[in-house]
Amino acid sequence: LVLLWLSLFALAWGAAFIGLSHGPEIIFSIEGSLMAIAIVAAWAKFGRRYIPGKALLMAPLYVAWKLPLYAAFIVRRQTAWVRTKRDTV
């Protein structure tokens, strides 16, 4: 959902850059701020014991690292089943 918000925010920013309305850009900025506040508040209330703050700050980098994998999934869809190799028991 955050990636969807980010793409729509980038689209709104691009539209405002070429001279269209700044309304969607402002709305998506407010939504992003509220989303960030909600994530930090939920972490502070429920996740601080399980997830260190440093790991929470690394989450955007992890998602950026995964973006090529997501793009490859959209461009080259896997149609055949690939069996995972497992140790014999």
pLDDT tens-digit profile of 10-30? 999 999 999 999 999 999 999
pLDDT category at 45 given cuts 50, 70, 90 is: very high
pLDDT category at 80 given cuts 50, 70, 90 is: confident
Burial class of 12 by CB neighbour count within 10 A (0 to 12, 13 to 18, 19+): buried
For residue 68, pLDDT beyond 80:
yes
pTM: 0.68
User: Are the C-beta atoms of 5 and 35 separated by less than 8 Å?
Assistant: yes
The conformation of residue 49, written as its DSSP 8-state character, comes to T
